[in-house]
Amino acid sequence: MYLDTSSGRISYKTFGDRKAKALVFIHGFPFDKSMWDKQGELLSPDHFVVTFDLRGHGESDVGNGQYLVEFIVDDVINTMEHLHLDKACVCGLSIGGYTALRAVEREPARFSGLILCNTKSTGDTNAAKLNRANQIKKILTGQKSQFAEEMAKSLFAPETLDNNPQIVDKITSIMKSTHERALTGTLIALAARMDMTESLSKITIPTLIITGDRDKVATAADAEIMKSRIPNSRFVLVHGAGHLSNLENPGEFNSAMVKFLGEHDL
């Protein structure tokens, strides 16, 4: 299914009954909405689950490649309006988490709960920005496959790389198939994102923070910063998982999410 916007079509998928409690998932970079399929199927008996492809990812239009996190927030809001969702719990991983934080800050009345996965509230350091620049240079010089393979090594826990080649190959394939303009545009969006740390104390909705114990991108220390500042938030560390905890250890991830949703009637 598609939503037409001024910047191109957004591809989305739904699970469950439209009349049930709504839950919107935002995937990480540079993946697509399929990374949430198992969660959509799991939650569909009691929830109306929405997943969508970020601009230039999956089946969404690439457009001009001028992306910002703020524009992704627009896509979240537009998708909710298109589906007539007055309120939803929002779950985001990595850049999806940055987007979810900004969406809740921008339009708090639209959201009933917040799940932050493998993400952080801080902006890029100078070193991180330089790394993004080097990644862009690599992509622009025809080394997209090398970029994807190197990124996969940094994303997954060693246990996943050794024992779950199927999911590693799937994610690497998705990264390799993503348009160069989408990759470079999103890398710029990541480098330019806002630091959301000062706004964390203003979050009043139930919040679950999840990260992998092997995540080198959004560490347990980053999660602890968010937990210490978001009132009444909960932090769950998923074992044997890197930056894609919902795929690397779905048992622990799903258990934490289902428990959170049930306790807060989300």
Question: pLDDT tens, 26-37?
Answer: 999 999 999 999
H-helix or E-strand spanning residue 138: helix 126-140
Cα separation, 132 vs 120, whole angstroms: 17
Among 89, 128, 125, 116, smallest CA distance to 229 is for 116
Contact in structure between 122 and 113 (CB atoms under 8 Å):
no
Domains and CATH numbers, the chain: 2-263 (3.40.50.1820)
- Per-residue pLDDT, 48: 98
- Per-residue pLDDT, 7: 83
- Per-residue pLDDT, 257: 98
Contact in structure between 175 and 135 (CB atoms under 8 Å):
no
Taking the alpha carbons at both ends of the chain, their separation in whole angstroms is 25
Cα separation, 63 vs 81, whole angstroms: 21
- Per-residue pLDDT, 20: 97
- Per-residue pLDDT, 58: 97
Could you say which residues of the chain have pLDDT below 70? none
pLDDT tens digits for range 60-72: 999 998 999 999 9
- Per-residue pLDDT, 123: 96
Q: Residue 204 is encoded by which pair of tokens? A: 């009043």
Give the orientation angle of helix 95-106 with respect to helix 180-192, to 10 degrees: 60
Contact in structure between 208 and 233 (CB atoms under 8 Å):
yes
Cα separation, 62 vs 238, whole angstroms: 33
* Prior bond of 30 cis (ω within 30°): yes
Cα separation, 197 vs 120, whole angstroms: 9
Q: Write down the pTM of the prediction.
A: 0.97
| CA 131 centroid distance within chain | 20
